[in-house]
Amino acid sequence: MSAENWPLVKAILDEVLDLAPPERAIFLDAGGLKPEIRAEVDALLAFEDDAQGLMQLSAVEFAKNFIDDDESDMSGQTVGAYRIVRELGHGGMGAVYLAERTDGKFTQRVALKLLKREMNTSALRRHFEQEREILASLEHPNIARLLDAGTTEDRVPFIAMEYVDGLPIGEYCRVKNLDLNARLELFRTVCGAVDYAHQNLIVHRDLKPSNVMVTHDGVPKLLDFGISKILSKGIDDADSATITRMGLMTPSYASPEQLQKKSVTTLSDVYSLGVILFEMLSGHRPFESKENDLREIYSAVIEHEPMLPSSVIDRHTGEMTSEPYAKSVPGNVTEPVNVRHTGPTSWTLSAGSVRGDLDNIVLKAMRKEPERRYSSAGNLAEDIRRHLNGLTVTARPNTFSYRVTKFVGRNRLGVLAAAVILLAVVGGVGTTLWQARVASAERSRAEKRFNDVRKLANSYLFDVYPEIENLEGSLKAREAIVKNALEYLDSLSAEAGSDLELQAELATAYEKVGDVQEH
C-alpha cells in the first residue's frame, strides 16, 4: 500500500469497523471507491475478521506495516553476528537484508530475513519459526540454504540464508539472451527443486520470477518460503489459513484456488510454475491489469482462459498491449484485458518455436481445475524433457499423425537416409519393371512377326500357289512364290528349336516346295 493511499484507507476503516459485515458491504458499495482502494480495505477487513486469537493488532495497526516508507532502513546495524549492509527487499511481515558476518570466525555474506518489530506477534512468530524449520529440512542444490537463525536483543526473530548473487529468472533469460532450449532446461531444473519441496510435504505458495534467482554461473535457486505451507495434517492449519486470508501472495502468479481462498495443495505451485513458464516463453504475464487493478486481476485469473504463449508472441509487441483473451463463458465472448510486457520490445523467441507442444504444456499447467493440471511438478518437468528430446508429450492427444511427426522430428538423419534408400530401391524396382515391360513388348512383337512369317509361308504354299499353278503364263509368279516361301521356311527353321509342332509344319512345307519344283 502506498503512503498516499493510507489516509483514505484509514478513514474508511474507521467508519466501517464498527458496522456489521452486511452493513459494511452496503457502505462500501455505495462509496464509489477506486478499485485499488476497495481491494486494500477488503483485505484489511478480512484480516480483522480473522485476527481473534491469532494476533494482537487491529486492522489499522496491521496496515501500517504495509505502507511504503524509508523508516525501516537498518544499514549498519548489527543483528546477532551480522552487520546489515543494505536492504534487498521487503514485504508485509518483514524485510530481507544483505548482511556480513562480523564475529571474526569466518567471512560470509548472507541474506538476513528479519520480522518487523510491529509484526512480532505470537502467530507470526510461529509462522516465522515454521519457515526456519522448513528451510532446515530442505537440502537441495537449487534451494537457498538456511545458514543460521536466532533472535535480536528485543526478541525479534531472524533467519540467515544463503545469499544468491544473481538475477530473477525472467531477467536472467533476457539479459543472457537464452535460446529456447536453454530456457527450458533452466525451467526444468526449477521444477525439480519445487518437486523436491513437495516430496518433503512443503507447498511454496508464492512462486514467481523474483523468488527464483539465477546465479551468474546459471544455477537457479528457489527463495522465500515465507508463506509456504506444511502439508502434514494438523500442523499450523489455523495460521496457514490466516496467511492465505491476509493476501500474502502475488495475485498475477497465484492459482485460482488461492485467490478464492480454497484449499491450497502442491497443484497450486504447479499452476504458478505454468505462469512462470508462460512469461519465460512469451515475455508477458498471462493476466495483468494496466492500472494494477486487483479486482481485474482476480477476475482474469479465476474466470478467463489465457491466450496461447505463441499467440502472445505473434500479437503483442511494445511495452503494453491490449489484445483480448478468451472469456470462459458460453457464446465465445471475448473482453479486452491488458497484458503487461515484462521484457524488451524485441522478443528473441519465435512463435513457431513455441507453438504446439509448449503451448499445450503451459495451458495444462494453468488449468483452472487443479485435478486437470499436471499431477506434480515432476511430471511437468518430465513433459519438458520429452519435448526437448523430440518425444510425444502428455499435454497433447496421442494421435498417430502426432506420433509420426515427433518420430520424424527426433530422427531426421535416419529418416532422411531411409528415404534416400527407399527412393533408390523404388527407383531400381521401377527401372527393372520398365525394362521388363520393354522386353515383354519386344518379345510380343517378335512373336507376332514370327507368327506372321509362319502364316505367310503357309499361305504362299497352300493357299496362293494352288490357285495359280494351272494358269497360263504364271510360271514366273510360281517361281517367285517358291523362292519367297523357301526364304520364309529357312527363317522359321532357324528359330524352330525344340518346337515339335513347328518342325512338323516345316517338314510338310518343305515337302510341298519339293512337289512344286518337280512340276
What residues are annotated to the active site? 206
Residue located via cell numbers 529357312:
490
Contacts of 366 (CB under 8 A, 6+ apart): 271, 274, 275, 278, 286, 306, 373
Q: What is the C-alpha separation between 479 and 348, in angstroms, rounded? A: 98
Are the C-beta atoms of 14 and 29 separated by less than 8 Å?
no
For residue 327, give the 3-state DSSP assignment. strand
Report yes or no: 172 and 130 within 8 Å, Cβ to Cβ: no
Q: Which of 369, 366, 238 is nearest to 309 (CA)?
A: 366
Which residue from 435, 411, 438, 408 is spatially nearest to 427, judged by alpha carbons? Answer: 435
**First and final CA of the chain: distance in angstroms?**
137
Residues 70 and 51: beta-carbon distance below 8 Å: no
Q: Provide the residue count of the chain.
A: 519
SS3 266: helix
**Which residue bears the cell 536483543?**
153
270-282: b or e for each residue (b if 16 or more CB lie within 10 Å)? bbbbbbbbbbbbb
3 state SS of 226 = coil
What are the φ/ψ torsions at residue 493 (nearest 5 degrees)?
-60, -35
For residue 225 the three cell numbers come to 518460503
Contacts of 149 by beta carbon, 8 Å cutoff, 6+ apart: 132, 157, 158, 159, 160
CA dist., res. 62 & res. 47, Å (int): 9
